[in-house]
Amino acid sequence: MGIVISPSILNSDFADLRGELAKISGADYVHVDVMDNHFVPNLTLGLPVVSAILEASPVPVDAHLMIEEPDRWAPAYAEAGCASVTVHAEAATAPVRLARELRALGARAGLALRPASPVEPYLDLLPEFDMILVMTVEPGFGGQSFIDGTLPKITRARDAIEAAGLDLWVQVDGGISRETIGRAAEAGADVFVAGSAVYKADDAAAEVAQLRRLAEA
């Protein structure tokens, strides 16, 4: 699909989600961060709000589940209509079974790694997934700085995918901005989550277009 831009609504105005979603109709997806206050030290929203977002969003939903027990909770997000459902490798008990279940429900299946989690133990699992998410900040909050130390991991993931002849997307999430998106793209990412860069911009739609141009460059 080429470059994919998936703005995160985490730092948008939650009292006006419909309006905030309308601003990103030029994006490919909307990235929705589900946090349970256990897997990460923050609590955001769950299935009822995601269902409302699915109704209101002009673009498909890319759900990022930062929760314990994703095996138990993730399928409901696929069933509700999320186009992509990403679970953390550190939290999933049976990631392959879960990926198959998500795919059977019609969603793309994503496997996320915290900055400190190496990619190597999961390489054999990649054929079961449609996307690997290399977190470029510690999950939990928007507005943090991009961790440059994650760049080699992005490249290792991309190289492994190419070597195996697979068709996975490599998503990066955290600290993606005009300053960092080029480095992440060069390292091998093709799906870019940007939260504060988009929603703190004066013109969110123009920022989405600008990030896309920089990633394509």
- Catalytic positions, please? 33, 173
Which region, judged by CB under 5 A, interacts with Zn ion, from 31-39, 106-114, 149-157, 205-213?
A: 31-39
Total residues contacting ligand DX5 by CB under 6 A comes to 22
Q: Is position 195 an interface residue for ligand DX5 (rule: CB under 6 A)?
A: yes
Minimum gap (Å) between residue 163 Cβ and ligand DX5:
28
Window 19-38: residues binding ligand DX5 (CB under 6 A): 31, 33
Residues 6+ apart with CB under 8 A from 163: none
Q: Kindly write down the DSSP assignment for every residue of 22-61, as one continuous string.
A: HTTTTSS-EEEEEEBSSSSS-B---HHHHHHHHHH-SS-E
Q: Is position 143 an interface residue for ligand DX5 (rule: CB under 6 A)?
A: yes
CA-nearest of 61, 92, 97, 59 to 79 is 61
Task: Residue 174: name its binding partner from ligand DX5, Zn ion, none (Cβ under 5 to 8 Å by kind).
Answer: ligand DX5
Residues 6+ apart with CB under 8 A from 148: 183
Which residue type occupies 37? N
- Residue nearer to ligand DX5 on the CB measure, 93 or 145: 145
Minimum gap (Å) between residue 137 Cβ and ligand DX5:
6
Q: Is position 64 an interface residue for Zn ion (rule: CB under 5 A)?
A: yes
Among 61, 102, 111, 137, the residue binding ligand DX5 under the rule CB under 6 A is: 137
Q: Is position 142 an interface residue for ligand DX5 (rule: CB under 6 A)?
A: yes
Task: Residue 84: name its binding partner from ligand DX5, Zn ion, none (Cβ under 5 to 8 Å by kind).
Answer: none
Which region, judged by CB under 6 A, interacts with ligand DX5, from 44-52, 75-83, 157-165, 170-178?
A: 170-178
Positive or negative torsion for Cα 105, 108, 113, 118: positive
Total residues contacting Zn ion by CB under 5 A comes to 3
Which CB contacts under 8 angstroms, 24+ apart, belong to 72-75? Answer: 74/98, 74/101, 74/102, 75/101, 75/102, 75/105
Minimum gap (Å) between residue 167 Cβ and Zn ion:
22
Taking the C-alpha atoms of residue 217 and residue 203, their distance in angstroms, rounded to an integer, is 21
